[in-house]
Chains A and B, each alone.
Chain A
Amino acid sequence: MAPKKQANIGNSNNKSETEIQPNLDVIIDLLSELNQVESNQKEHITKKPSYQSFNSQLTLEIKQKKKSAPTFTAHEVRGQKEKSTPTSAAHDEREQEPKDNPLWRQEKSFNSISQQYTTNDNSVNSTNLVHTAQNNYNKIQSIAILQQSVRNLEQKLKGNQAQIDEVIDSVNSLLSLTVELINLQPNGSPQSIIRTISPLIDRIIEQRSTEDLHRMGEALANILPVAINQQIETTPQSIAKALAPEIALSIQEQVRLDKESISKSIGPEMGKAIKAQIELEQDAMVDALYPVIGSTIAKYMGEVINTINEKVENALSIEGVKRKIRAKIQGVSEAELILQEAIPYEVQAIFLIHKASGLIIRELQPDLAHQLESDLLAGMLTAIRSFANDLIAESSELDEIDYGEYKIILEVAGYCYLAVVVKGEPSKQFRQKIRSALSNVVLKYGNIIEVYDGDSDTIPESSELFLEQLLEEDKKQSSSGKPTTLIWFLAVILGLIFVPWGILKYKSYVANRIVQQTAIELDAAPELSVYRLTPEVKEGKLILTGRVPSEYLRNKAAQTVTKIARAEELTLENRIVAINVPIDPTIAKEVVVRVTSMLNHQEEVAILTNYQDYTVTVKGFSLARLSDERIAQYFKQIPGVEKVIINLEKQLPIIDRRIYFASGSLELNSADFTENIDKIRQLLVKYPQLHLRIIGHSDRTGIPQNNQKLAQERANKIAKVLVDRGIESTRLQVVGSIEPPPGVTLDRPLQKSRCVRFEFLIPEHGKNAQNS
């Protein structure tokens, strides 16, 4: 039956189900028949009480068996199995015994039962017993036969079961077969096939899932990746949509489960991703990183500002002054010196070094004469960097090493760093250049550098271009730019300071000269010299300030200065104030004395003045030159002088008194001598401003030389007498003459000639004032 079925299935699968169904029906019918038979048997047995115990024992056994051995039920197709179980299980128990002869066992049990009956129930009649036993035996035999048939049935059932299993399997594989079928009949009616199968498919899958989830999973697992792949290819959006909401959640979950794993799997790609993004859209990256980098930039800007400040300060500091002096000494322009100072650095070597191992990736050493030991240098630099990072500051970087006039500038990126050996002081711009060169190298060769293993062939030659650029740019940059700006800046500042200063200096020099000239001129004018007048030159004007007591003097001063103002093309501004102050009489008096003294220095003037109650009284002599009016005017100019009284004489007073001597004698024994002398002394007192000439005479007799001597001695004698009487000798002038005195003619007696006569005279110009 089985092979046939299989053939059926093989030939047309869609028929198999319908063919199974009748078979099953047959089995079920059979079973129900069996049931019927059994229940009949049971009924039959129950009628005989002697069988009851046996029967119950049997049922008990069956029940127990049912409980303990449901092995049979483990097989599939529940609906039919449930029906068959009670009977099959009941007879199965017997199948555990040797199977060659089922009757033998029945017989054995029968024997034991009969034995039981014989021992336990003595009251039972033996013939009866034998009869019933016989009867029983027949019954049991029929049961045995029944059992046999049941077993056959069961075997059939088993075969069926196996077949059902196969059928189920084939139903499972029905999917693929269906697909095949569809393939075989593409032009037939796939619609109808789909229609027939589609309601079943979900049920089949459901069914299968409930039965064996694991196997179902296994079966589906193989298809899933392909299916997903396919779906991604055809409609990526829908997959994305389906997965999207869960990705974040699943990452979270994974992070919760194993913190490291996510970062480990994403980590290595992060750098590359960022790099790619930078290449793709640098601006976006800059924006994203800006908040982080902001503070770094701020720090950097601070540095730049500091250096600018330094430069500006230096420009006007001792260094700046020193440079000026050097420029003077060397005879070169200051600009040249500044330029020299502004090219203070020279790149000695550039090394691109692998950060972890310290191996050289690329090197450039322009000076062939002094090649540095690049390998060792790079190694040591790397060691120093690590050391500094380890012990000093883990997050910060060593960015410069100084040794004397050399500097090593370090610029560090992810997997490599640049070390630039520089002689002198590099500019900030150069550092910027280093930075951009390194970032170019990292962007372009970062991936290769990351896995660098000491073989420089793995790094493309073109990487050297970036480093060479650094050298070239450096030269270009040093010869232009900053230094000139600095020179211009300095020049402007110096210009702003020195040009106005020079102009001011010159102006004040000119002004000083004018002021001095003016002062001299003002001093030269006698009326003005007594007042303090201050000339000043300012804003194209010659300004006179001071105070004079009268309008006249104010105008006089202006007149005096006009000439100078015109010569220097300045406008005169007369700020002299003429004030009528109540003059201090003592000052006025002093001025009067000065004016008097000044007048007395004039020829033929001998005056005495008295100042009292704003009135000057002038006494004395002014013989011809100066009129009374002139003298009066002089005094009227003096502030505080309101009135001048002139009482001047045009002629000197004449002294008619003569003192006579005896012949050849110097004796003063004339009778009127004392009276005469007194008279003369009084006159001298009366005219203190005048001097007196004393003239001695002799008579004609005798030798003229002796006479001359005698005449002189006579005058001397009288002068002495006057001095003795209190007259200052300086006022006296002594003269001897052998001529007869005026008015004595030859006919007059000789005695008239032997005399001393007197004449007043005005003291000579330049002599000490006699009137003080």
Chain B
Amino acid sequence: MSIISKKICLVGDFSVGKTSLIRRFVEDKFSDRYLSTVGVKISRKYIELATPTVNRSIHLLIWDLEGQTKFQSIAANYLKGASGSIIVADLTRPETLDHLQKHLDLFLSVNPKGLATIAFNKSDLAVEEKLARITQLYNFDAHPQVIATYITSAKTGDYVDMMFTQLAENMI
């Protein structure tokens, strides 16, 4: 059976850690330095899924999109043809959490059949007791196309691999 290719996008406000998540997943590395992504950066990861339901090789083409700022919204064109997306927010910045819904809507408007995963990133910086409240406040479990919500840390690598793998699994 041939390798299947899937495109996924990371969407979210600027500096929420999209690039870091990808770096952790693809290269298993992390850097504290902040480098703003300009335009788009594409990475590739080859994964083999071997779960009871799925047994397949998959090429994940991960599109790291320039984070949204006050002045510039992300280009909807870059989202085209993506099977899945990870909508990222920064746990330490509430406004990024507020924007989750907007990003999700944008992604689903471009890809009506797409799947989405929510990532609350930078869990290493967040206070434990706040987490429960935040996950309760921003709950997307009811949404039919949101397959999961993860509290991740690109720095420690918590739930990063699992998040990508589960998304990949669901896309096949």
Chain A nearest CB, measured from B111 CB (Å): 9
Q: Are A456 and B2 in contact (CB under 8 A)?
A: yes
Q: Which residue of B lies closest to A354 (CB)?
A: B81
Residues of A contacting B61 in the complex (Cβ-Cβ under 8 angstroms): 358-359, 375-376, 379
Q: Is B82 in the interface zone, CB < 8 Å from A? A: yes
B81–A359 CB distance below 8 A: yes
Measured between beta carbons, the chain B residues less than 8 angstroms from A354 are: 81
A-contacting 9-mer, from B72-80, B120-128, B156-164: B72-80
A454 touches B39 (CB 8 A): no
Q: Taking the nearest CB of chain B, how far is it from the CB of A772, in angstroms?
A: 106
B59 at the interface (CB under 8 A from A): yes
A373, B59: Cα distance in complex, Å: 13
Can you list 8 pairs linking A and B with CB atoms under 8 Å apart? A355-B81, A357-B82, A358-B61, A359-B5, A375-B61, A386-B78, A455-B4, A456-B5
The docked-state distance in angstroms from the alpha carbon of A456 to that of B44 is: 17
Residue of A nearest to B40 (CB): A383
Neighbour of B75 across the interface among A379, A387, A454, CB < 8 A: A387
Q: Is the CB of B77 within 8 A of A380?
A: no
By a CB distance below 8 angstroms, the chain A residues around B42 are 358, 376, 379-380, 383
> Does residue A457 face the partner (Cβ distance < 8 Å to B)?
yes
Tell me the bound Cα distance from A590 to B16 in angstroms: 116
- List the A side residues contacting B3 at CB < 8 Å: 456
B78 partner residues in chain A, CB cutoff 8 A: 383, 386
Residue of A nearest to B6 (CB): A454
CB distance from B55 to the nearest CB of A (A): 14
Cα-based distance from A481 to B24 in the complex (angstroms):
55
CA distance A285 to B61 in the complex (A): 39
Cβ contact within 8 Å between A357 and B39: no
A381 to chain B, nearest CB (A): 10
Distance from A32 Cβ to chain B, minimum over Cβ atoms (Å) = 74
Q: Which residues of B contact A143 (CB under 8 A)?
A: none
For residue A359, which residues in chain B have a CB less than 8 angstroms away from its CB? Answer: 5-7, 61, 81
Question: Which residues of A line the B interface, CB within 8 A?
Answer: 354-360, 373, 375-376, 379-380, 383, 386-387, 389-390, 453-457
Known A379-B63, A386-B80, A453-B6; further 20 A-B contacts with Cβ < 8 A: A356-B81, A357-B81, A358-B61, A358-B81, A373-B44, A376-B61, A379-B7, A379-B61, A380-B40, A380-B42, A383-B78, A387-B39, A387-B75, A389-B77, A453-B83, A454-B5, A454-B7, A454-B83, A456-B2, A457-B1
CA distance A355 to B81 in the complex (A): 8
Name which residue of chain A comes closest to B63, CB basis. Answer: A379
Given the interface pairs A383-B39, A454-B83, the reply to whether A390 lies near B59 with Cβ below 8 Å is no
Query: Which residues in B have some Cβ–Cβ distance to A below 8 Å?
Result: 1-7, 39-40, 42-44, 59, 61, 63, 75, 77-78, 80-83
Q: Point out the residues of chain A lying under 8 angstroms from B63, CB to CB.
A: 379, 383
Name the B residues within 8 Å of A455 (CB-CB).
2, 4-5
In contact, A375 and B5 (Cβ under 8 angstroms): yes
Contact B77 A386 (CB under 8 A): yes
Q: Which residues of the partner chain B approach A379 to less than 8 Å between Cβ atoms?
A: 7, 42, 61, 63
Query: In the assembled complex, which residues on chain A have CB atoms less than 8 Å from the CB atom of B44?
Result: 373, 375-376
Q: Nearest CB to that of A375 among chain B residues? A: B44
* B residues near A386, Cβ cutoff 8 Å: 75, 77-78, 80
**Nearest chain-B residue to A357 (Cβ)?**
B81
A358: B residues at CB distance < 8 A: 7, 42, 61, 81
Known: A375-B59, A453-B83. A390 touches B1 (CB 8 A): no
Q: Is the CB of A360 within 8 A of B77?
A: no
Considering the chains assembled together, what is the distance between the CA atoms of A104 and B44 in angstroms?
Answer: 100
How far apart are the CA atoms of A354 and B82 in the complex, in Å?
11
> Which A residues are CB-close (under 8 A) to B80?
356-357, 386
Contacts of A387 in B (CB 8 A): 39-40, 75, 77
| Chain A min CB distance to B67 (Å) | 15
**Smallest Cβ distance from B19 to chain A, in angstroms?**
15
Within the complex, what minimum Cβ distance (angstroms) separates A351 from chain B?
A: 13
Please state if A457 and B2 are interface contacts (CB–CB under 8 Å).
yes
Q: Which residues in A have their C-beta under 8 angstroms from that of B82? A: 357
The CA of A379 and the CA of B44, in the complex, are separated in Å by 10
* A390-B81 in contact given A375-B61, A376-B44, A454-B7 (Cβ < 8 Å): no
Which residues of the other chain, B, contact A357 by a CB distance below 8 angstroms? 7, 80-83
Question: In the complex, what distance in Å separates the CA atom of A380 from the CA atom of B39?
Answer: 10
B39 proximity list for chain A (CB < 8 A):
383, 387
- Top 4 nearest A-B pairs (CB, nearest first) are A357-B81, A356-B81, A386-B77, A379-B42
CA distance A484 to B61 in the complex (A): 47
C-alpha spacing A360/B7, complex, angstroms: 11
Contact: A360 with B2, CB < 8 Å?
Answer: no
From the candidates A355, A360, A373, name the one contacting B5 in the complex (CB within 8 A). Answer: A360
User: Cα distance A453–B84 when bound, in Å?
Assistant: 12
Give A302 Cβ to nearest chain B Cβ, in Å: 30
User: A380 contacts which chain B residues (CB < 8 A)?
Assistant: 40, 42
For the complex, give the distance between the alpha carbons of A390 and B82 in Å: 18
**A residues less than 8 Å from B6 (CB atoms):** 359, 453-454
Inside 8 A of B43's CB, which chain A residues have their CB? Answer: 376
* Residues in A neighbouring B7, C-beta threshold 8 A: 357-359, 379, 454
Question: Can you name the residue of chain A whose Cβ is closest to the Cβ of B82?
Answer: A357
CB-based nearest B residue for A383 = B40
In the complex formed, the residue of B with least CB distance to A359 is B5
Cα distance A277–B25 in the bound complex, in angstroms:
48
In Å, the complex CA distance between A357 and B44 comes to 14
Q: Which residues of B have CB within 8 Å of A355?
A: 81
**Alpha-carbon distance A383/B81, docked complex (angstroms):** 12
Q: Which of A355, A389, A454, A455 has the most CB of B within 10 A?
A: A454
Rounded to whole angstroms, the CA-CA distance of A427 and B49 in the bound complex is 46
